[in-house]
Amino acid sequence: MRNSSFFKIYAAFSLAYLIILLTGHERFDLFLKPILIPIIGFGVYFYRKFPSQNILLAALTLSWLGDVILLFTDLGEIYFILGLVCFLTAHIIYCILFNKQKRNRKKQNKPLFIFGSILIAFYLIGMISVLMPHLGSLEIPVSIYASVISIMLLFAFNGFLVWEKPGNKLVFFGAVFFVISDSILAVNKFYAPIPKSSFFIMLTYLLAQYLIVVGVLKLNPKKVEQIV
């Protein structure tokens, strides 16, 4: 199977899964959700070797574990916490991954970086402020998670300023969609129900993973076929 085939299969299965969620058949989560990240993971695995390949695979593996564990949140709060830990670790690994990518520009646009950092800080403060009164015993875990994903976004934004195009844009927007996905999940769970929340959470999440993966692959020299 050609490397690009995995990405096409991922897109097709993701679309089918999103249609199922949109039509309200969320009970199929148990069958479809666990296979999505492994598909794109195989695309990374069978891609030509590059220095940060195993780091990317580790982040995807932890994301997959988080996906599977969160399927069982109805059985107890412990599953939500374990899923949170998996994704927290995945985001830390994504930070490491982004830091390992080759810089194309030696000089960073410092004013733009400072402006972006301030916006991310406002997001973090705003999100925690909105959620804090509703978190109960999860105040510390959720605050730590929000901080880590904000740092992940900051790493991606820094990369956007110094990496080669178009990989820099793909990774950055992937990180943005990841933050949007987790924000929808948090608001829906702790603040107020959001109509079709599962659909919007998974739409942004699946797009985030795809953009980050394709972006990282484009940041690394390759002699294989186009993957998008």
Q: What does the DSSP assignment read for 108-140?
A: --HHHHHHHHHHHHHHHHHHHHHHHHHHGGGHH
Render pLDDT for 44-73 as a digit per residue (tens, 0 to 9). 998 888 999 999 999 999 999 999 999 898
Render pLDDT for 71-125 as a digit per residue (tens, 0 to 9). 898 888 899 999 999 999 999 999 999 999 988 876 778 899 999 999 999 999 9
For residue 223, the model assigns a pLDDT of 57
Render pLDDT for 172-220 as a digit per residue (tens, 0 to 9). 999 999 999 999 999 999 999 999 999 999 999 999 999 999 999 999 8
Within the chain, what is the greatest distance between any pair of CA atoms?
Answer: 52
Asked whether 171 and 114 are in contact (CB, 8 A), the reply is: no
For residue 101, the model assigns a pLDDT of 93
For residue 3, the model assigns a pLDDT of 67
Backbone angles phi, psi at 207, to 5 degrees: -65, -40
Q: For residue 191, what are the contacts with CB-CB under 8 A and spacing of at least 6?
A: 130, 131, 134
36 pLDDT band, cuts 50/70/90, is very high
User: Cis omega (within 30 of 0) on the bond before 166?
Assistant: yes
For residue 1, the model assigns a pLDDT of 39
For residues 92 and 63, what is the distance between their CA atoms, to the nearest angstrom?
A: 11
Query: What's the angle, vertex CA 114, arms to CA 108 and CA 119, rounded to 5?
Result: 130
For residue 225, the model assigns a pLDDT of 47
Q: 23 or 94: which carries more pLDDT confidence?
A: 94
Q: For residue 136, what are the contacts with CB-CB under 8 A and spacing of at least 6?
A: none
Mapping DSSP onto H, E and C, the string for 61-75 reads: HHHHHHHHHHCCHHH
For residue 42, the model assigns a pLDDT of 94
Residue linked to tokens 């969609």: 177
The encoded tokens of residue 74 equal 């109805």
Render pLDDT for 113-161 as a digit per residue (tens, 0 to 9). 999 999 999 999 999 999 999 998 889 999 999 999 999 999 999 999 9
